Every structure is written in structure tokens, then in C-alpha cells.
Amino acid sequence: EVQLVESGGGVVQPGGSLRLSCAASGFKFDDYSIHWVRQAPGQGPEWLALITWDSSFMDYADSVKGRFTISRDNRKNSLFLQMNSLRADDTAFYFCAKESKYGWQGMIEGLDYWGQGTLVTVSS
């Protein structure tokens, strides 16, 4: 069974940093790109970042580019999101999600498995 489990959320002050983790199991982790998506309470999802299976390519939404860094450790089946310079509008549930398309051919297809999310609250 495919499982993605996020951790690392919490309350942080504006300007602070937080590192989220995502532990994957039930599939060959190093065969797939993985994404981070967030969703503020009552709002729709917002795609944030993706990293290819071999970490050769990372892509970011403009809203987080330069502040957030996606990375992965294939030996530990783990994904990370380092979040710096956090702002109040970064408050949301953060999900990691598996890309449905095998490998990387320069495009994505859809996010077929998601974690349960971890809540990040940016507040003084």
C-alpha cells in the first residue's frame, strides 16, 4: 500500500523557518517525481514544488521561489521542504504527493497519492 506521511508542521513566527518531511513507502520511491502542495483552510490547493526522481530538476511556484527548497533522500525514501522567511500567508496544510507518471520526461500527469497533510501556522 502506498503511503506518504508528512511531519514537521507547527507554529512559527513571521520570518522564521521550518523543515517539513515526508516519509514514503509502498512504492519504488526513486522511480517517481514528488510534489509539495499546500491548502489554506477553506481554499483550493496550491501547487508549490516538484523534484524529479533523481533530484536533477526542481521546479517552484513563484510564490515560494527563493524562500522554499525541495530535496529528497532516496536512500531513506524521504522528501523534504525547507521553508525560510515564512509569512502569514504561508499558513496552510502542506501535502506531499506522488507524481503518477513514471520517471521524468519533462512533464507531469497528475498526483495519484497524497499524504494526510501537516499544518503550518505562521503567526506572532
Partner 1 sequence: DMQLTQSPSFLSASVGDAVTITCRASQVINNDLAWYQQKPGKAPKLLIYASSILQSGVPSRFRGSGSVTEFTLTISNVQPEDFATYYCQQVKSNPYNFGPGTKLEIK
How far is CA 5 from each of CA 39, 56, 65, rounded to the nearest angstrom? 16, 23, 24
Spatial contact of 112 and 98, defined as CB atoms under 8 Å apart: yes
Q: Does 116 bind partner 1 (CB under 8 A)?
A: yes
Which segment (10-18, 23-31, 60-68, 74-82) binds partner 1 by CB under 8 A? 60-68
Judged by CB, which is closer to partner 1: 38, or 72? 38
Q: Does 112 bind partner 1 (CB under 8 A)?
A: yes
Q: Does 27 bind partner 1 (CB under 8 A)?
A: no
Q: Where are the beta strands (DSSP E) in 13-110?
A: 18-25, 32-39, 45-51, 58-60, 68-73, 78-83, 92-102
- Residue whose C-alpha cell is 525547507: 82
Using CB under 8 A as the binding criterion, the count of chain residues that bind partner 1 stands at 24
Q: Does 44 bind partner 1 (CB under 8 A)?
A: yes
CA 24 to chain centre: 12
Is the backbone of residue 8 left (phi > 0), alpha (psi -120 to 50) or beta? left
Per-residue binding string, partner 1, 61-100, x by CB under 8 A, is: xxx-------------------------------x-x--x
Q: Which positions lie near partner 1, rule CB under 8 A?
A: 35, 44-47, 50, 59-63, 95, 97, 100, 107-112, 114-117
